[in-house]
Amino acid sequence: MVSQLDQLKAFTTVVADTGDFKQLAQFAPQDATTNPSLILKAVQKADYAPLLAESVAVHKGEPLDVIVDHTLVRFGQEILKVIPGRVSTEVDARLSFDTEATLARARRIIGLYEAAGTDRQRVLIKVAATWEGIQAARVLEQEGIRCNLTLLFSFAQAQACGDAGVQLISPFVGRIYDWYKKSAGSTWDEAANAGLNDPGVKSVANIYAHYKQHGIRTEVMGASFRNVGQILALAGCDLLTISPDLLAQLQASDGAVARQLVPVDDVKPALAPLSEAAFRYALNEDAMATEKLAEGIRAFAVDAGKLDGLIEAQR
């Protein structure tokens, strides 16, 4: 039996979306992604409590944000022992509107990885796709620090990321789906908005097509899935980052998987770069993207604060 997971791997780089590195081996993903919520969830498990305690003990007396970064990097190192590819480690979401602070934090995280013997090519720095975050990523990429732009909901965000030459973007399929379903209320037709018609799937497919048509090298990694159908509808996307629960469902099924996204042969000239004003206006015009970006930053900031609290309690 060839599982759907193995079939998907023929078209797409499969990425595990988790901080629980002890779950990874069974799915054999190429890369892994983390975020503040996933790390917070992991450190509250008994299996990972000693790792958190050790990180705090070794760096006791250092500033809280430094201990946090050591903890994030420690998780990343453990993940890299299990996967052959890259791990994404996120800059504090509370810095999402501060380019200089984002740069400083990203450089420190990479420095910690390198001090521990990890090649920077195996690390992606996750940054929220605000204007300020995208400009920080532009500078980081020029310094050889590869970036994963997250909390991405709109075409304007994707275009600006391509303009900045970032390594990878993570459009959030499930959260886009959530917004449209909630907005439609009782008129939502699940069957009519499934698969290729899912609004989150259509958003990613549109971005993928734009990048390929204009020769933009930025990788597209669909993220934040609610069901297997959304994943299979994006088979062929450069990468897909998938939670352990959905990876398990794909591994348990042998249904046929067909490629849906295919690169184009004819490359068109690049579009004119978005100015800051054009970016902000386009984002403002997209109610879904504006709301979900703000909501996502707030949620990650809350979980970053909770992680701070766990560490503070052990200092």
The tens digit of pLDDT for each residue in 11-40 reads 999 999 999 998 899 999 999 999 888 999
The residue assigned the tokens 């910690």 is 112
Alpha helices, DSSP H only, in the chain?
Answer: 4-9, 36-43, 49-58, 64-80, 99-115, 131-142, 155-164, 173-184, 199-213, 228-232, 244-252, 276-285, 287-314
Contact 148/169 with Cβ under 8 angstroms?
A: yes
CA distances from 200 to 32, 80, 203, 206, 227 (A): 21, 30, 5, 10, 12
Of 161, 172, 188, the closest CA to residue 35 belongs to 172
pLDDT band (50, 70, 90) for residue 237? very high
The residue assigned the tokens 């973007």 is 169
Whole-number pLDDT of residue 270: 83
Whole-number pLDDT of residue 156: 98
pLDDT digits over 139-171, tens only? 999 999 999 999 999 999 999 999 999 999 999
Q: What is the CATH number of domain 4-314?
A: 3.20.20.70
pLDDT digits over 242-277, tens only? 999 999 999 999 999 999 999 987 888 888 999 999
Average pLDDT, integer, range 280-284: 98
Alpha helices, DSSP H only, in 81-198?
Answer: 99-115, 131-142, 155-164, 173-184
Average pLDDT, integer, range 189-197: 97
Whole-number pLDDT of residue 289: 98
Given the residues 22, 41, 60, 126, the one annotated as active site? 126
Those residues with Cβ within 8 angstroms of residue 85's Cβ, 6 or more apart along the chain or in another chain: 13, 29, 30, 31, 32, 122
Mean pLDDT (the chain) is: 96
Is the confidence at residue 109, as pLDDT, over 80?
yes
Write the Ramachandran bin of 95: left for phi over 0, alpha for psi from -120 to 50, otherwise beta. Answer: alpha
126 is catalytic: yes
Whole-number pLDDT of residue 267: 86
pLDDT band (50, 70, 90) for residue 77? very high
pLDDT band (50, 70, 90) for residue 88? very high
User: What is residue 263's three-state secondary structure?
Assistant: coil
Is the confidence at residue 90, as pLDDT, over 90?
yes
- Inter-axis angle of helices 64-80 and 36-43, nearest 10: 80
User: Greatest CA separation found in the chain?
Assistant: 58
Whole-number pLDDT of residue 216: 96
Question: Given CA atoms 229, 168, 180, 226 in this order, what sign does their dihedral have?
Answer: positive
Whole-number pLDDT of residue 191: 96
Whole-number pLDDT of residue 273: 96
Give dist(CA 273, CA 270) in Å, integer: 8
Please give the model's pTM, rounded to 2 decimal places.
0.96
* Percent of the chain's residues with pLDDT above 90: 91
Number of Cβ within 10 Å of residue 98's Cβ equals 17
Contact 50/294 with Cβ under 8 angstroms?
A: no
pLDDT digits over 206-233, tens only? 999 999 999 999 999 999 999 999 999 9
What ranges do the domains of the chain cover? Answer: 4-314
